[in-house]
Structure 1
Amino acid sequence: MKPLTTLASKFYSATMAYRNRRFDRGDRVVDVGRPVISVGNLTMGGTGKTPTVQWIVRLLQARGHLPLVALRGYAAGKPQLSDEAMEHEQMLPGVPVLVDPDRVGAIEAFLKKDPSRDVVVLDDGFQHRFVARQLDLVLIDARRSLDAERVFPAGRLREPLSSLSRATDVLVTHAASVDPVLRKRISMLHGRDPTAWCDHVWTGLSRFDVDGETTLDTLSGIRVITRLGIAAAEGVRNQIVEAGGVIVADVAARDHAPVTASEMQRLAEACTRADALLVTGKDWVKLQPLVDWSALQVPVLVPRLTLNFVSGQEELERRLLGVFASSESA
């Protein structure tokens, strides 16, 4: 590791520690008048927050609650261009999705107009501590070694691993089973075992073409071009291969990258060698308005994701629904 990078990481860690001490004292932390569930992580990049937020929202709805989602809108110059927000709006019809770096102001303004919403779900809220919360859920990716992580800019950590002790609960994602070594390491950092373990699995694929949307149950033998503008694209590519799909070519895209008209043209040209274009939900919400089906001429496949719990689902649900009781007693 370069000395300057090491020095920058130490400075960044010290800055985060100072910031967290202020929040620990309650400085500028605002109670928005509703129970708040925060979903976040320690690292930059994908741990599965989007499907987890959607799973939580559906759980709350199934129990008769009226949630709203609030997020910063990463990499979006305009709120309406946030791919995370657009995907939430598409997958959670009727649920208000507030996109604003000032989440306190956005939530308070919305609740003045619609006080019926009885719970707030913060997407990527662990470091955004201006909003008081009843439950702070941190996601840990089982595919990555915790002890190999380094604090930014030397690595992907947004703050030191010791900050995990601040979370109320830990959900281990992308886990096919409970890993006793990882469980012990998390317990050392967090003070107790993870609340739950889950994997992100495909339940099928949405198939979009000139005639609209249908479903597809299998990828077996289908040749695809991929365009995966997410942090953990390798996991999607692995699932394509496991499902029997054949990746003809992968069009590289950085996390949250916008889709341009010129890129759509390149994708259409690449797809002349394939049976379909496969993208994630975050890609599709940006790509959909630009699709010219006369040029693309192949369907677009979008995997449908759900959480498959291998341990702790009932306890996590109990903890999530318990925010209403803890809010009333606060």
Structure 2
Amino acid sequence: MNILRKILFPFAILYGLITAIRNFLFDKGILKSYSFDLPIIAVGNLSVGGTGKTPQIEYLIRLLSGDYKVATLSRGYKRKSEGFVLADANANAEILGDEPFQFFQKFPNIQVAVDANRKNGIEQLLSKTPKPDVILLDDAYQHRKVKAGFYILLTAYGDIYADDFMLPTGNLRESRSGAQRADVIIVTKCPVDLSLDEQNRIKRFLLRRNDKGINQELYFSCIAYDDCIYSENSKIEIGELQGEAKLLLAGIAKPEPFFSYLKNPNDVCLTYPDHHHFSENDIQEILIKAQDSIIITTEKDYVRLKGSLPVEQLFYLPIQSSFLSKGIEFDKKIKNYVGTGTRNS
């Protein structure tokens, strides 16, 4: 924790008090939460950024879209449009935001919508034909105006929420007690060889901080990287890149694992802020530093860079969320909620 964050500790106390009062008012029904007549799953976190919400939403899409009409609803962070937008043939990353546009490109059989007002967004989706069977709320854990029927709380390995402080001293959006609203907690971005002893230690640490812990399920997941990188019209196996100089580019919250998976000694790495909109100067910088070598970026950055860099140079590395264990149990829990619930409350 740097010195500035320590100095700002009184503001963290004030911010924590404000969020605690807000949650109390929702808990007591003084501030109204709205329910809807279909299953709604909210995926989110207590801390800001970098917990793997996008791979988890995509996991749920793959799990459910074969049997149900699925819709995703996101805020559309840093998009240049306003209000409710339902993705169509004219959609792009500037209209939807990078993550929703990624959903739209990867899963053409689902509805993808954005609206900062989740209540209005759900109402708009329910007025469309076909009407969705289930809605996935992306990054909506603190959006309490809508009462989801199932809450998935994500916390990243090595950056567990129970070890953190409120903003601006730490990275928490609300108190650690907010974890009690979750139906399941997933520790994301774990090492693939995380031992059972370490998993049990984390489980004891998290659930003893949570009065509802006895009723919650805890899961552990990792990021599974693809064996290939992809461009608009070709792919290359990762093994073929050994010893080849390339430019690695990431505008995500925590890019270190991405770089570590791909990096060779002669590679150039460029980092940009999360959800960065690439300017013409940025594009020129990338081209100068890449020269004639290939450029590999994340899926989220690819949807913003596509069309601005040469097709033959620009590639992306897909990722998926993968459970270390109990994945079948998690799938059954989700399918049971969606299949038996006609109402999200």
Tell me whether the two structures share a fold, i.e. TM-score over 0.5: yes
Cα offset for 1:320? 1.0
Equivalence for 2:91 = none
Amino acid at match of 1:31: S
Confirm or deny: 8 A CA contact 1:206 1:303 kept in the other structure.
yes
Matched, 1:240 2:259: no
Matched, 1:291 2:294: no
- Helix, strand or coil at the partner of 1:122: strand
Amino acid at match of 2:221: C
Paired with 1:189 and 1:91, the residues of 2 have a C-alpha distance of 38
Structure 1 residues 7 and 95: CA distance shift in structure 2, 3 A:
same
Paired with 2:261 and 2:117, the residues of 1 have a C-alpha distance of 37
- Helix, strand or coil at the partner of 2:316: strand
Matched, 1:220 2:242: yes
Matched, 1:9 2:31: no
Confirm or deny: 8 A CA contact 2:39 2:344 kept in the other structure.
no
Equivalence for 1:58 = 62
Paired with 2:344 and 2:12, the residues of 1 have a C-alpha distance of 40
Paired with 2:118 and 2:112, the residues of 1 have a C-alpha distance of 11
Paired with 1:215 and 1:249, the residues of 2 have a C-alpha distance of 19
Structure 1 residues 194 and 172: CA distance shift in structure 2, 3 A:
farther
- Larger displacement relative to structure 2 (6-15 or 182-191): 182-191
| Matched length | 319
Q: Which 5+ residue runs of structure 2 have no aligned equivalent? A: 83-94
Equivalence for 1:280 = 298
- Helix, strand or coil at the partner of 1:37: strand
Equivalence for 1:306 = 320
Equivalence for 1:78 = 81
Over residues 81-138 of structure 1, what are the superposed CA-to-partner deviations in whole Å (9 max), with x where a residue is unaligned? 5111111111222211111101111221121122531000011111111222111000
Cα offset for 1:156? 1.1
Paired with 2:229 and 2:247, the residues of 1 have a C-alpha distance of 16
Matched, 1:139 2:154: yes
Equivalence for 2:139 = 124
- Helix, strand or coil at the partner of 2:306: helix
Paired with 1:301 and 1:205, the residues of 2 have a C-alpha distance of 10
Confirm or deny: 8 A CA contact 1:104 1:130 kept in the other structure.
yes
Paired with 1:143 and 1:19, the residues of 2 have a C-alpha distance of 29
Equivalence for 2:71 = 68
- Helix, strand or coil at the partner of 2:178: helix
Equivalence for 1:93 = 108
Q: Which 5+ residue runs of structure 1 have no aligned equivalent? A: none
Cα offset for 1:328? 5.0
User: RMSD value over aligned CA atoms?
Assistant: 2.1
Confirm or deny: 8 A CA contact 2:149 2:343 kept in the other structure.
no
Over residues 121-176 of structure 1, what are the superposed CA-to-partner deviations in whole Å (9 max), with x where a residue is unaligned? 01111111122211100011112244542211112111121211111110111122
Over residues 166-220 of structure 1, what are the superposed CA-to-partner deviations in whole Å (9 max), with x where a residue is unaligned? 11110111122242221111111341464321111112233326xx233434332
Paired with 2:299 and 2:8, the residues of 1 have a C-alpha distance of 35
Cα offset for 1:76? 2.3
Structure 1 residues 182 and 14: CA distance shift in structure 2, 3 A:
same
Paired with 2:272 and 2:266, the residues of 1 have a C-alpha distance of 16
Matched, 1:110 2:113: no
Amino acid at match of 1:182: I
Over residues 40-71 of structure 1, what are the superposed CA-to-partner deviations in whole Å (9 max), with x where a residue is unaligned? 01111111110110110110013x11110001
Amino acid at match of 1:228: A
- Helix, strand or coil at the partner of 1:69: strand
Paired with 1:100 and 1:289, the residues of 2 have a C-alpha distance of 26
- Larger displacement relative to structure 2 (183-192 or 230-239): 183-192
Confirm or deny: 8 A CA contact 2:162 2:209 kept in the other structure.
no
Q: Map of 1:237-276 to 2, 5 A cutoff? A: 237-241=259-263, 245-246=264-265, 248-272=267-291, 275-276=293-294
